[in-house]
Structure 1
Amino acid sequence: MKIFNSQQEEKIMHAINMAENRTSGEIRICIEKKCPNEAITQAAKRFSELNMHKTALKNGVLIYLAIEDHKFAIIGDEGINKKVPENFWEETKNIMAELFKKEQFAEGLIAGIDRAGTQLRTFFPRSDDDINELPNEVVYF
């Protein structure tokens, strides 16, 4: 199940690459048709399944989207969650939701990626020996 055409998916992966080029943080996108739980619960499950909790600095961010159920969540690992303002993820979700309401799903994800990348860059700048710890492609379940 793919909801993005190849051009949209390229733009999403490009946004992830651009964000990660300036930080040691990791950003992933996870898409599924239906969400069997609350979005944040399902996002936490996928976060674990994708081994995002295993980054060296605990600075992974997952943007989860259940397309048919119109649910989404953003989950950050403990390292980034300790650094960002308390309402940061909620504000990011609000920005994304406005684009999702217009059925601009790729643009909404890119907005979330850009905001997460800015925070990651601020608190976890890229080091000379940084490696990409997790793949950047969109994951479909």
Structure 2
Amino acid sequence: MTGRVTRSLSPEALARIAEAVGEAESRTAGEIVVMVSARAGLYRSPVLLAALIAALAAPWPLIALTGWSAAGIALAQAALALAILSLGASEALRLRLVPARAKRARAREAARRAFRQRGLTRTRGRTGVLIHIALAEQHAEIVADAGVLRAVAPGTWDATIAALLVALRRDEIEAGLVGAVRSVGAILAEACPRSAGDIDELPNRVIVSE
């Protein structure tokens, strides 16, 4: 899945997800933030590397098997490199060239970077939780701050992430995110219940990154 987030989530859908966040937070001291990114990376390096390797390798069979001049071989090198670079303009093709492990690592890093940059480490009780999805990579990640990690056992989010990934594969993004928000909210309501004086420290709106 590639393209703009707004093609997958309408303003009305984003509003319904934000409403689910507000409802979930009404029962917990936790702060839930949802972020939807079109992609975690552009992945241009594999295309550049492929073009370089092809250009370096191309002269040898031409020298051995043809009587082409040096100028002709140089033109063939350039044409091959340009052809590969042109194909690399397709995001879908670039994604196919990148190993799944590399895409997962890039998406995880993007989620952790967003967690820091979006202020989730600055809540009073360190109770921020980010639900992050990268559409192009079909990756979902939940990142929690120290206050939540002290109260929630490792692996607690696994079922939530698994359900969200199923929804992504079915292109049911809104339903998947609403379900994830409700699941995270239920976990936080038990682990970090709301108390008197708790305030909503972070906006409920969905963060969209194209």
TM range (shorter): over 0.9
Q: What is the Cα-based RMSD across aligned positions, in Å?
A: 1.4
User: Is residue 2:76 matched to residue 1:8?
Assistant: no
Name the structure where helix makes up a greater proportion of residues. Answer: 2
What are the superposed Cα offsets for residues 24-77 of structure 1, whole Å, 9 maximum, x if unpaired? 110011111111252221111000010100111111110111112222211111
Name the structure where strand makes up a greater proportion of residues. Answer: 1
Kept in 2: contact 1:40–1:75 (CA 8 A): no
Q: Counterpart amino acid of 1:35?
A: A
Number of the residue aligned with 1:50: 118
Q: Please, which runs of 5 or more residues in structure 2 have no aligned partner?
A: 42-104
User: Is residue 2:42 matched to residue 1:17?
Assistant: no
Kept in 1: contact 2:39–2:134 (CA 8 A): yes
Number of the residue aligned with 2:31: 26
SS at match of 1:64: strand
Distance (Å, rounded) in 2 between the aligned partners of 1:76 and 1:110 = 18
Distance (Å, rounded) in 2 between the aligned partners of 1:69 and 1:94 = 15
The structure number with the bigger radius of gyration is 2
Give the fraction of aligned pairs with identical amino acids, expressed as a percent: 27
When the two structures are superposed, what TM-score results if normalisation uses the length of structure 1?
0.93
Distance (Å, rounded) in 2 between the aligned partners of 1:97 and 1:69 = 11
Shift of 1:134: 0.5
Shift of 1:11: 1.4
1:82 alignment partner, one of 150, 164, 177: 150
Q: Work out the number of aligned pairs and report it.
A: 141
Q: Which has the higher mean CA deviation after the structures are superposed, 30-39 or 104-113? A: 30-39
Which consecutive segments of 4 or more residues in structure 1 shift more than 6 A? none
